[in-house]
A and B are shown apart, each in its own frame.
Chain A
Amino acid sequence: MASPSSQPLLYGLLDRPPLVRLLLLAFQHVCLMASALVLPSVLIAEIGGSRGEAQTVVALSMIACGLGTILQAIRLPFMGSGYFVPNVVGPNFFAASMSAAWIGGVPLMRGMTIFAGLFQVLFSSFIRRVKFLFPNEILGLVVMMVGVGLVPVSSSKLMSVEFASDVANRPATGIALAVLLLMMVLTVRGKGLFRLFAVLIGMITGYVLCLATGMVGQSDLDLIASLPWIRMPDFASLGGIAFRADLIPTFIIVSICGALKSFGNLVLAEKVNDPEWKEPDMGSMQRGLIADGVALAGAGVLGGMASDTSSSNVVLSGTSGATSRVIAYATGAIFIVLGFFPKVSSLLAVMPAPVAGAVLVFSACYMIMSGLQIMTSEKLDYRRTFAIGLGLFAGFSHDMVPQVYANVPAFVHPVMGTSLSFAVIVAVLLNQLLAVGLPAPSPR
């Protein structure tokens, strides 16, 4: 059986798929990206905003994500990795954005999102100079922990348990498992169109099963029916842009976590595109992170929710074997256009939990195993074993027993924003500490 990295690409970075196939491939990615659009609606509802405001924020988030996707794929001298790494509304930023919105409404959320984006651009400008901090085993850890970071949300959706008090919905879980199995079988054993559209086929099957069993709620269908076909975003309803100094530490934390996650996604995208991949092109990584930071700041300027690169879409392009830059342009363009069509975008955004759960588990599995593969591409001597081992230990403990870190001093908070940041920073520091006095590694 072929390993994921040895599967040949059907449409590589520079290929141009036939038009119909191109549109279907882009639509497959758009469906996946749209599943995160529920976040701005939830955020605006929680702060007591109107349905109109929610629609505006959703539309502007779509436009920002579409632009970010195109920006990432364009390989400019100073920005853009050139890879198909789409932007989505970022679950990473959800809690921080919500805090800002509670305190100062959408204007403060916009202002702090702009700050986070600019901080990420600044952070990215150092990445080439610190290349020595990120040998392959650390990069593998980054990719793996991005996958691990998907575990909470993916298992929540897979079991249809959104809140601690919810009761697991057995029929929903059954559908989620069936969809997951279908996508995996089509990816592992499918050829041609079946492999290319494994996720789309799985999602459509899941939608049909959920509609047939009433798992797409009537209230969701009523909401979709009530929306207009075409609507211009109401910029005036968003107010201005505001900043608050006391929120800066929180947004620095999420910005660093977002940058590390995007780093992992970019590494995976590069590896998927290069069967002979040995190490990352740090210039490309830097341009990719700058594009991600600019897209994030742009989301704030436009009035959308904070965006982030999408692990699920990177996985999808890898498993389908279609990583073409042209698909990225088409995906970004369709996402922007759909921002003006609330009925269609809402239909995609109300993705039933079983479908979203199946897709996210599919992505998490691929990310985790790709990370492990990169990690173990180097001989794991004692130094690497303990550096990576303690990083993993720190990351897992962050998620498994968060109580033990409840009272860490404030200056440590940026390190411990997520299990990803904690694991990577511990591993990087220990790797350097254990290397003191050893000869520098020879350049590859």
Chain B
Amino acid sequence: MSVNRSAIVLGVVLALLSTSSTAVRAGATSAAASYEYSDTRELVSTVEDAAQMLAARGTDAFADFAEPASRWLHGTDYLYVYSADGRCLFNSGQPELVGKAMQDYRDVGGRPVVQELMAIAANPDPHAADWVFFLFQEGNVLTPLWKTSYNVKATLPDGRVVVVGSGRSNLKMERRFVTEGVDAAAAMLAAEGPDAAFKAIAEPSSRFNVLGSYAFVLDMQGHTLVDPSFPTMPGRDLSGMTDAIGRAYVSELLGKLASADTASTMFFWRANPNDVPQRKAIYARKVASGGKTYIVGTEYLLPTPIWMN
């Protein structure tokens, strides 16, 4: 046959060169498998594996975590480790924080980030893990960006409890982030009643603010009771709202919730009149509290593949 051998050799060499540069890790843990996006799964498996290393080797693992161009430290990805009382034990991205008591640290939106990490450490589940979302000023970027961090509790061989985590500023919104936030807000409303829960949900720096998507509370007719996005417009009737192509998406959602405890809907949204419509979704849950029924929900931008027209 007359196949040009040099061209084939070139292809193979190119492939070998490319594959030798960075090994892509395949070992996602079972905790990671339930997420939709590969970068989320990669972050989860990295932090889960780091927690296992800490449990096995204690602080000796820090040397590995600090290895440049490793799985633990590359690009803008790095690990941090905090003690159960909020002291920074390790941070390869901001080494100046190591040794400092950080329990009072809040992000630029006032969110008590380290206290949320301490809550993970205080969780009685030995394998507790949770997401913490916060605004972070990365390098010399003018506007602080939302950072999505995954954090896992670990018990060192000497018995100390720590939390190891890592965050990324380019992770996509997972549906689980939203459902877990809404379900937690609904549980709080059911357990603590409207007065306490409404106040907590209305707080923009609360944990129910997921990457800038706030939880809201409606009555069953679609009037806002808590709306952190528009706090000066209480009691708005959303039932007649239509999307960029004229669909009455809120009344659709109310219709679904008439016969189900949870419902989702998708709609098209324009940030500005001349923008191309973007896909947004709402996840909502019906909850009874203080003798009334409420709707707790969050609307969020749906990650859309760049090829989808």
Interface residues of A in 3-61 (CB under 8 A from B): 45-48
A222/B33 in contact, CB under 8 A: yes
Chain A interfacial residues counted at CB < 8 A = 60
Interface residues of B in 25-84 (CB under 8 A from A): 25-28, 32-33, 36-39, 41, 75
Distance between A361 CB and nearest chain B CB, rounded to angstroms: 13
A94/B308 in contact, CB under 8 A: yes
Contacts of B28 in A (CB 8 A): 217-219, 222
Whether, in the assembled complex, B232 has its beta carbon less than 8 Å from a beta carbon of chain A, the answer is no
Interface pick from B12-20, B116-124, B220-228: B12-20
Whether, in the assembled complex, B266 has its beta carbon less than 8 Å from a beta carbon of chain A, the answer is yes
A162 with B306, Cβ < 8 A, contacts A209-B15, A214-B23, A219-B32 known = yes
Interface pick from A131-139, A183-191, A308-316: A183-191
Distance between B148 CB and nearest chain A CB, rounded to angstroms: 11
B172/A156 in contact, CB under 8 A: no
Distance between B71 CB and nearest chain A CB, rounded to angstroms: 12
Whether, in the assembled complex, B2 has its beta carbon less than 8 Å from a beta carbon of chain A, the answer is yes
B22/A171 in contact, CB under 8 A: yes
Distance between A48 CB and nearest chain B CB, rounded to angstroms: 6
Whether, in the assembled complex, B309 has its beta carbon less than 8 Å from a beta carbon of chain A, the answer is yes
Whether, in the assembled complex, A153 has its beta carbon less than 8 Å from a beta carbon of chain B, the answer is yes
Judged by DSSP, the binding face of A is helix
Whether, in the assembled complex, B4 has its beta carbon less than 8 Å from a beta carbon of chain A, the answer is yes
A175/B266 in contact, CB under 8 A: no
Whether, in the assembled complex, A123 has its beta carbon less than 8 Å from a beta carbon of chain B, the answer is no
A71 to B227, CA, bound (A): 54
B3/A185 in contact, CB under 8 A: yes
Whether, in the assembled complex, B137 has its beta carbon less than 8 Å from a beta carbon of chain A, the answer is no
A164 with B264, Cβ < 8 A, contacts A214-B24, A217-B41, A246-B247 known = no
Contacts of A152 in B (CB 8 A): 306-307, 309
A175 with B18, Cβ < 8 A, contacts A48-B175, A163-B172 known = yes
A213/B3 in contact, CB under 8 A: no
A171/B19 in contact, CB under 8 A: yes
Contacts of A46 in B (CB 8 A): 175, 302
Whether, in the assembled complex, B7 has its beta carbon less than 8 Å from a beta carbon of chain A, the answer is yes
A103/B3 in contact, CB under 8 A: no
Distance between A171 CB and nearest chain B CB, rounded to angstroms: 5
A218/B27 in contact, CB under 8 A: yes
A216 to B25, CA, bound (A): 10
Contacts of B266 in A (CB 8 A): 98-99, 102-103
Whether, in the assembled complex, A434 has its beta carbon less than 8 Å from a beta carbon of chain B, the answer is no
B15/A403 in contact, CB under 8 A: no
Contacts of B23 in A (CB 8 A): 213-214
A163/B281 in contact, CB under 8 A: no
Interface residues of A in 149-175 (CB under 8 A from B): 152-153, 156, 161-167, 169-175
Contacts of A161 in B (CB 8 A): 306
Question: In the complex, which of the residues B11, B21, B170 has the most CB atoms of chain A within 10 Å of its own CB atom?
Answer: B11
Whether, in the assembled complex, B274 has its beta carbon less than 8 Å from a beta carbon of chain A, the answer is yes
Distance between B184 CB and nearest chain A CB, rounded to angstroms: 18
B18/A170 in contact, CB under 8 A: yes
A191 to B265, CA, bound (A): 54
A102 to B22, CA, bound (A): 39
A182/B8 in contact, CB under 8 A: yes
Whether, in the assembled complex, A177 has its beta carbon less than 8 Å from a beta carbon of chain B, the answer is yes
Distance between A122 CB and nearest chain B CB, rounded to angstroms: 24
A246/B246 in contact, CB under 8 A: yes
Closest to A213 in B: B19
- Chain A, residues 210-224, CB within 8 Å of chain B (1/0): the string is 001111111101100
The 8 Å CB contact of B264, one of A91, A102, A246, A406, is A102
Whether, in the assembled complex, B293 has its beta carbon less than 8 Å from a beta carbon of chain A, the answer is no
Contacts of A439 in B (CB 8 A): none
Closest to A353 in B: B38
A185 to B14, CA, bound (A): 14
The 8 Å CB contact of B1, one of A169, A194, A209, A417, is A194
Interface residues of B in 72-103 (CB under 8 A from A): 75
B170/A167 in contact, CB under 8 A: yes
- The 5 nearest A-B residue pairs measured at CB: A174-B18, A214-B26, A178-B15, A102-B266, A152-B307
Given contacts A214-B26, A215-B24, 11 further A-B contacts (CB under 8 A): A102-B264, A163-B37, A165-B171, A174-B19, A174-B21, A178-B12, A178-B18, A185-B7, A191-B2, A194-B1, A406-B274
Taking beta carbons and an 8 Å cutoff, which residues of B are in contact with A? 1-4, 7-8, 10-12, 14-15, 17-19, 21-28, 32-33, 36-39, 41, 75, 170-172, 175, 245-247, 252, 264-266, 270, 273-277, 281, 302-309
Taking beta carbons and an 8 Å cutoff, which residues of A are in contact with B? 45-48, 91, 94-95, 98-99, 102-103, 152-153, 156, 161-167, 169-175, 177-179, 181-182, 185-186, 189-192, 194, 205, 209, 212-219, 221-222, 246, 250, 402-403, 406-407, 417-418
Could you list 25 A-B pairs, sorted by A, with CB under 8 Å?
A: A48-B264, A94-B308, A103-B265, A103-B266, A163-B303, A171-B18, A171-B19, A174-B14, A174-B19, A175-B19, A181-B7, A185-B7, A185-B11, A191-B3, A209-B19, A213-B19, A214-B26, A218-B28, A219-B32, A222-B33, A246-B246, A403-B275, A403-B276, A406-B273, A406-B274
